[in-house]
Amino acid sequence: MEKAAPLRVRGLVVGHTVRWVRGSFGDEVHDRALARLSEPERAMISRGTSLLSWYSYTDWWGYLDACREEAAARRGVSAADFDTRFTEGVGGEVVKSVYRFVLDYFQLTTFFQYLPVMYTRNLEPVQIEIIKNITGRLELRFSGPEGMRGFFARYMPLSLPYLARLAGATPAAVQTVADTQELGSFNLEYRFLYQPG
């Protein structure tokens, strides 16, 4: 039987996450979130990361979820507010630092062509397929190991409107077209409608 590929996240994302949590909610939330993790998970977050190296997605996701819970308990931040702030804080930093020139100089449809590359360079193994990409409408399919479904289910409905706003467009709706899980894998499809800027 073939061994499943490990779930991995790029150090760029891990580093931005830790800095964002500490800057947005303080060291107490960060420290209490770390205390919830196992020793190996804590070690991965605490020792720092190299931007281009790969790290355990499961450890990072566990840290992010613990921060979400601690931000609610210590700061009264709702899950929805945490998720929106994460999308704009961490996702926004990654996009602005690496892909800002595309948002500034090209149409949104051109930027959306980069989404598969943007996500697969930072998360693996995941497959992203653009089904339709015309002005005002984007349809995407995400698939991969079931352990990564949470990220795409939670953050894509927030990320697509945020990216559109960065490019000066007006988001209209994000619709879940398909959401299936079977044999340890997931498949999510989204339809995103927007008014160009």
CA distance 48 to 194: 38
CA distance 183 to 136: 35
Domain boundary pick from 65, 97, 129: 97
Total count of domains within the chain: 2
pLDDT in tens, 71-99: 999 999 999 999 999 999 998 887 877 66
DSSP string, 48-71: ---TTSEEEHHHHHHHHHHHHHHH
Vertex 154 angle, CA 196 and 112, to 5°:
30
Domain boundary pick from 54, 70, 97: 97
Task: Say what the pLDDT of residue 29 is.
Answer: 97
pLDDT in tens, 113-163: 989 998 999 999 999 999 999 999 999 999 999 999 999 999 999 999 999
Supply the range of the domain harboring residue 122: 102-195
Check pLDDT > 90 for residue 166. no
User: 88 with 123, same domain?
Assistant: no
User: 90 with 106, same domain?
Assistant: no
In a domain, 80, yes or no: yes
pLDDT, average across residues 55-75: 96
